[in-house]
Every structure is written in C-alpha cells, then in structure tokens.
Structure 1
Amino acid sequence: MATEPKRSMLVIAKGSGVADAIISAFSGETDLRIETKDATLAQMNGKAISALANYDVIMFQASPDDSAEIEAIQSLVSNRRNETTLVALADGDISLSKARALSNAGVDEVLPLPTGDGKIDAQMIRLSRKKTPQHGGGAQAQGRIIAVAQARGGVGSTTVAVNLADQLCRSKGLFSRSAGHKVALVDFDLQFGTVGSFLDLGEQDTLLQLALDGTVPDANFLEQSMVDLPSGLSVLAAPSSFAPLDSLRSDQVAAILDTLREKYEFVVVDMPRALVGWVEPIVQRADEMMVVTDMSVSSVRHCRRLIDFFTQDNHALPVEVVINHQHKPLMQSRLHREAAKVLDRKLEHWLPHDPRAASGAADRGKPLSVAAPRSPLGKAIARLARATLSVRQVAMQRPAK
C-alpha cells in the first residue's frame, strides 16, 4: 500500500519550463508531493493565501521590480503558517539590492531559477527535505545563532567568540541532565581568522575547499569537517591557507548555518573583518548580534555604523554591545553616558582589561575556563554566557506565533 507523502510543495511560475524542471529534479523524492500553478504570484491573489494551509514549501518566480509582486509577497507572508517556507526564484544574476527587496518583503530564501539543462540549486533540494519544526512546550525548534563582530581590529572579538562558545558548552542546560549545551563555533574570518590558533587545532581547510570546488555543504560534510573538543564544543575554523574574501558564496554560508542550527543549540559565529556580500545570510539568520568595542571615540563611532548596517534590513535584530578592556564602572561617567546615547543601547556587558589571562590562554591554546577560570576576564565571560542563556530561556517561553 502506497504511503502518503510527508511533504508538499507548490510551484508558482508562468509557463511550464520552471515547473517542469523542478518536478524533474525531484522525481526521486517519493515523500514529496508537488503541485504547480501556471501564474504569477500577483495573479493568484487570495488563492495563494489560502494555499498556505496546504503546503510546506511554496516556490514562486519573483520579479522584485514589480510592486504588485512585492505586495503579493507581503500579503502571503502576513497569512503564513510557522511551518511554511517561502522561496523566491529569481534570475541568477540578481543584484544584492533586489535580493534584499525580496528578503525585506518576507521570503525565507532567494534562489536562482532552474537552468536550461534542468539543474537546480542544491539549496532548493535541502529546503524541500527540511523537517517541519515542532513547537511543543514553546521551545524553539532550531538552535540560536549568535554572531560576534568587531568595531575595530584588535579589540578582542575572537577572544569573546571562543570563550563565549566554550562557556555556553560548559553551562548546564536548564531542562537537561546533560553537562552542557551543544555548541558549534564557526570562524568566518577567511583571511585572518585565529579561532584555530586560540584552541590549538591542527590545520583546517574545509572553508577553502568549499570555496575552491563551489559545492554546497550538507550535514555529512560538516560532521566530517568539524573538530570536536573534549569539552564537547564543535569547531569549524578558518582556513590555514590564504583565501580571497569573495571566494565563498551566500548559498554556501546559508547552508552551513542552516545545517548547524538543526543539530546544535547554539551556533557562535566569528564574523569576518570585511563586510563582504556573503555576510548577508549571517545577518539574516542571526538571533543575536554582539559587537565588541572599546571606549575610544573612533571605535564607538564605528560600532554605531555597524549597528546601522546590521539592522537596516532587520530592525528587530537584537544587537548587544560588549565593552572590552574595561572594568564595569560603579557609576558611569559622562563619556559612558554619551557613548550609550550614540549607540542607542545600554552598556550592560563589560570585560576587564586582563592581558595576562587573555594572552596566557591564547598561548596555551586553551579557553579561559581551563587556563584562567578565576581570572577577572574568565569570570566576566562566564557572566556574559549566563546573560546569553537567560535571553534564550525567555525566547523559549514565548508562545509560537
């Protein structure tokens, strides 16, 4: 007796070419039901909205220059289910600004149209196989992505990323008997990343390999590439060899993050120094952004610029400012109050200037929890991790929309 398909997909495209290519590509997926509509999204009007209750994935050919199309997308998004994934199919040479327009309208992914030879993007296959998230008990279905950026070079963002990930890994889960949380640490600073050195890891060229062969990684590839430390922390380090900044693609970065967040409770990302095009999927997927700065005027100003950049397409993105190299003052000075006003945020996270502990841990290739757990910096990082955990616990208690 034939089993009922577990997943369903609706393809909305004008003409049969796009729909036929997608149906052909998924011909081997026996647990996927595909239906098609020969129309544009704007032409479907209310029919597309009612279809949300019946499909797990809706793919549609998108024209970001068409205002009626954008309005149709926004209407679709406002009536969506939590389980429904919306995928816009656009020309492969779509500009970043047009891709952002589609993302701003509310689509989950912007992928290229199938090519003339019938090949489709690997990300499309992954999305079709994505399991429906469960919202039982108000818990989040996916891991929390925390991106760590720097206001200027040398401010200590890698120290924060490495030791935050380590502390999250060692912190006991609130509703778990396990020793800690499942945490992944990813170093996306392709040219100058030092996470591997901080943790005394061997040479890793996984990201360089991806850049060279152009493949989109899957779960098996990442599982074989991640280095698991005795603490339980899993690490994907930056390549030991030089890699051009533009060698990664957005779909590769998106696949890495989406795959890791399905397996880990936290994914800590050490951001690249340069704001290259492929950082956009990091910003889009981040549940929290930490910008590490000091109190110099230039750093505070650059921190403000970064906050504006990160939130321009996602106004709801929580951005936390971490003040490094300075003890938390008992009373904030006029300089501190002016900085908080410029940043439009409370200055709640302070990491003391503790070069002995920081350099000692880095030289030994050990996190602060091992090299200097009782140091002022080690204790401050532990407090930062506890604050991060409390934010996650609040998010888990929110009812699903």
Structure 2
Amino acid sequence: MKPQSTAPDPFDMKFEADDDFAPTPDEGWHEAAFEGAPSALDTPPDSSLGDFDDLEIMPAMVEAPRPNPVHEIIAGAEAMLGETLVPRITIHAFLATPDVIEAAEAASKDRRMERVVTTIRPGGLPGALQAYQTQTTPSLIIVESLDSPGELLAGLDQLAEVCDPGTKVVVIGAANDIALYRELIRRGVSEYLVPPLNALQIVRSVSTLYSDPSAPFVGRQVAFCGAKGGSGSSTIAHNVAHSITERLQIGAVLVDLDLPFGTAGLDFNQDPLQGVADALSQPDRLDPVLMDRMMARCTERLSLFAAPATLDQDYEISNEAYDEVTNKIRGAAPFVILDLPHAWSAWKRKILLSSDDLVIVATPDLASLRNAKNMIDLVRRARPNDAPPRLVLNQVGLPGRPEIPVKDFGAALGITPAAVLPFDAKLFGQAANNGQMIAEIGPKSKAAEALDNLAQQIGRREPPAVQKASLISSFFKRK
C-alpha cells in the first residue's frame, strides 16, 4: 500500500482503482508487439486492490520497506524445487540510473542467465525509441523511465509501434501507482518493477516470463563435497538423503559419483547390477524407464544411483556426459543428492557451480580450512547472487588431536557452520559396518540430531507433525 503523506505526489495522476483506461484509437497498442504476458498478471480491470496483495513485482507497495541485502531474500528468490536456466534469448536493457544499471549487469552474470545474450545501454525509454527506428527488437526489452505516468504511457505507445511481434517488455518506473500498473499490464507490458532493485529480482522476473508450464519437472540438486579426503562428506550426504526421505517424507535420489571408490552401496547394503557408470556411458539412451531400472530402491522414497566401486576399468567419461546425466536425473525426484569425489576435475567444478545447494564437509584442521576457503572463494566469485555454501564440521573432538575451534574455523571462512558433528567412532563405525544410517543405530544421538537439522535446512521445511495417541486410545491398547 502507498504510505500516507500530506505532501502532493508528483507522480499521482488521480487514478482510481476502478477507472476505465481503455485506450483510444489514437493511442492503442500493437497487440502482437507485446503479447505473451503471464496469466498470473492478467487481472480483470474491475479487480479490487486486494487482488495485488500477494504480487512481489512491486516491492515498494508493501507497508514497510523490505531489507535489501542479497542473502535476506535468497529464500524468496529461489524456488522450493530446482531452478532452471533462462532459455537462449536476447535482452536489450535501456536504463537511466546507476543503481539499476549495476543490478542489471550483476543479473546478466548470474548462473541462471548463462544462455542469455544481454546488452545494457544508457538512455532509458528515449534511448530505446531511438535505437529501434533502425533495428529489429530482441526477445525482451527492459526500459527504465523516470517520467510521469502520462509521459511513460505516451512513450510506450511509441515503442509499441516499432516492436516486432513476440517481443516482451519489462518497464522499470518511479511511480508506485496501482492504477498505472494495471494500465501497463492491460496494454501488454509483461512486467512493471519499481526500484530499489537487485540482481535476483531481475533474474526472477525474466525467468518467470519465460517459464514453461509444460516443461519437465526439475528437482532441487544438492552437491556434497569434502574439503579433503577422509572428511566424511559421503557419510554426511548419505545420511542427509535418508533424513530428507524418512524424516521430511520427501522423495529423493542419491547419486554416488565416486565411480572407483563410492560407498553408497555399502552404506545402504545394496549391490545393484547397474548404476551411475552405466548411465554415464550411454547418456543419450537414458530415459525415465531405463533410469528406474538402473536405480536401486533403498526405502519407499529414496532411490540410489550406485557407483560400481571397482578398479577393473578406467572411467574416461566426458564432461558433457556428466552434465547430461545429472540434468536428466533431476526429473526423477524433488531432491537429487550428489555425492562428489574428492579429486578435482572440470566436471566437478561445473556441478559445484550449477547446483542449487552446495554443502562442504570439513574437519577442524588447517588443511581442511585452506581447501574449504579456496572452494568457498571460488563459489562466491562465480555465484555472487546465490547464498554461500553450507559448511559442515565433522569429527569434532577427536581425542588427542589439536583442533581449530569451531568458532574460529567459521570466522576464518566468513560462514557460520550449518552443522557440527562430534567424533563418535563407535556410532559411525557400527552404522558403516551394518549398512545402516546413523538415525537407525543411534536415533537419539547428537549426530543424528545434527543430521536431521541439516536435512531440514536443505529441505526448507519442518518434519510432518506426528499425531499423538489420546489417553483413551492408549488405555484400550494397554487392555
């Protein structure tokens, strides 16, 4: 809602929510030039103001200003399930203010926009009008205008005359007026944004415009990586996958990508005839039927793509095969847990940077600290608009070993550990030797509690409430 003020609003054209803005013949749009606005924005002209209460495209419409730091809006900007890349389109942005130009430049470098060709130019709406007198329009035009609503509408009418069919338009304007917003949407503008803006808001707006409701389902990809060998990242990944499916009751697929030495089959007491190596050797043949045949069923909700864990062959697999197979597996379940080997490679780097969530498992020693810092710095540079990786400190409290304190370890990396697991050789050893999970061997242990908490952070939900039996039903059961 607009804050109340006694000062006159220079952008207020005295529009009312139920005003009729039907364009006259002289100012009508070329409808084909701005077709394709999302159905969620096709609000009838006589809708009440309450219909817009849930829209997030105009952050200034809320009563109190929202905080702008990137990490405070990560949860809202990312979907519950997997994120898909924006398709191969061309975007021309004609912007007027330095802050918006900076946000657009950051958005163009975002990992979700890697297939998009973006050109950013100064000049705002007048610059766009001048440019398209002599050139064709791209897939999407983003224009910023500091003009009054009347001047903005007049300028957009001129832009519509030179736009090619199929071009979408996003407008960034200074007027936070609901009636103006409705008029823009009615005239065919795909989106209207009001500063201040950040890169994620721009990325989400573009992604929403080109989302395909008929596109295949995409699960959320979570990659687990150890800061050094022996840190226990595979054990953590397997137990978190089990907790997501059993505690949160969400379907998941666990993929063991450590082909020669993977332990997922041992940890779940499974020995499938086929696994992820077969899929990687023939990625073009992998379809849902073949994928289901290759996966082992660990529980009702958890499937396993096991590694062969044999040295009888050399695994010369292309980076493209890893990319194709992991993308296909994302359609099999809401969560895909990737257990990555410690060895560094080009395909591993690509998976780390393209996953929706990244978990780095480290032990409290200097080598782990150095390696974890290198990985976190790499991810922060490549994914500036994403939340930082989650840090898990494992094997804390090993008797006789000098350790870096948990607080100092996190401070050196600029990250608060998402989970701290105590050293418990008996518990973890028994679980590994029995082919069971920590929650099955020691459900009340601190390690099991920490793993469940980590699963809730990754799954972004609380476990379903368990209905307690009434006193009366308990009495009859005892009888």
TM range (shorter): 0.5 to 0.7
TM-superposition CA deviations, 1:289-325 (whole Å, max 9, x none): 1111111111111111121233332222530110111
TM-superposition CA deviations, 1:32-59 (whole Å, max 9, x none): xxxxxxxx99897633336999599xxx
Out of 139, 157, 166, the position equivalent to 2:242 is 166
The answer for the alignment partner of 1:355 in structure 2 is 425
User: TM-score of the superposition, structure 1-length normalised?
Assistant: 0.60
Matches within 5 A, 1:1-400: 46-49=137-140, 54=166, 80-82=206-208, 84=210, 131-132=214-215, 142-172=218-248, 180-213=249-282, 215=284, 217-242=286-311, 247-315=316-384, 316-326=386-396, 335-390=405-460
Q: Which has the larger radius of gyration?
A: 2
Which amino acid in 2 is paired with 1:359? G
Deviation at 1:83, TM superposition (A): 5.7
TM-superposition CA deviations, 1:91-118 (whole Å, max 9, x none): xxxxxxxxxxxxxxxxxxxxxxxxxxxx
Asked if the contact 2:256/2:276 (under 8 Å) is kept, the reply is: no
Asked if the contact 1:357/1:371 (under 8 Å) is kept, the reply is: yes
The answer for the alignment partner of 2:73 in structure 1 is none
Matched residue SS, 1:324? strand
Distance in 1 between the 2:434 and 2:226 partners? 23
Deviation at 1:367, TM superposition (A): 1.3
Deviation at 1:78, TM superposition (A): 9.3
Deviates more, 1:44-53 or 1:195-204: 44-53
Distance in 1 between the 2:280 and 2:427 partners? 35
Deviates more, 1:223-232 or 1:43-52: 43-52
Given the superposition, is the C-alpha separation of residues 211 and 142 from structure 1 closer, same or farther in structure 2, using an over 3 Å criterion? closer
Q: Structure 1 stretches of 5 or more lacking a match? A: 1-8, 13-39, 57-75, 86-128, 134-140, 173-179, 328-332, 394-401
Given the superposition, is the C-alpha separation of residues 312 and 45 from structure 1 closer, same or farther in structure 2, using an over 3 Å criterion? farther
Asked if the contact 2:245/2:251 (under 8 Å) is kept, the reply is: yes
Matched residue SS, 2:260? coil
Number of aligned residues:
278
Which amino acid in 1 is paired with 2:431? A
Which amino acid in 2 is paired with 1:374? K
Asked if the contact 2:266/2:435 (under 8 Å) is kept, the reply is: yes
Which amino acid in 2 is paired with 1:131? S
TM-superposition CA deviations, 1:148-199 (whole Å, max 9, x none): 1001111111110000000000124xxxxxxx10011111112221111111
Asked if the contact 2:427/2:438 (under 8 Å) is kept, the reply is: yes
Q: Structure 2 stretches of 5 or more lacking a match? A: 1-86, 91-116, 120-133, 142-162, 169-201, 398-402, 464-479
Which amino acid in 2 is paired with 1:344? G
Given the superposition, is the C-alpha separation of residues 195 and 314 from structure 1 closer, same or farther in structure 2, using an over 3 Å criterion? same
Distance in 2 between the 1:82 and 1:209 partners? 36
Distance in 1 between the 2:364 and 2:328 partners? 37
TM-superposition CA deviations, 1:65-99 (whole Å, max 9, x none): xxxxxxxxxxx9898443638xxxxxxxxxxxxxx
Asked if the contact 2:274/2:295 (under 8 Å) is kept, the reply is: no
User: TM-score of the superposition, structure 2-length normalised?
Assistant: 0.51
| CA RMSD, Structure 1 to Structure 2 (Å) | 3.7
Distance in 2 between the 1:338 and 1:45 partners? 57
Distance in 1 between the 2:329 and 2:441 partners? 28
Deviates more, 1:261-270 or 1:274-283: 274-283
Distance in 1 between the 2:443 and 2:291 partners? 31
Matched residue SS, 2:379? helix
Asked if the contact 2:224/2:361 (under 8 Å) is kept, the reply is: yes
Deviation at 1:353, TM superposition (A): 0.8
Given the superposition, is the C-alpha separation of residues 81 and 183 from structure 1 closer, same or farther in structure 2, using an over 3 Å criterion? closer
Distance in 1 between the 2:253 and 2:439 partners? 17
Asked if the contact 2:391/2:415 (under 8 Å) is kept, the reply is: yes
Asked if the contact 1:204/1:237 (under 8 Å) is kept, the reply is: no
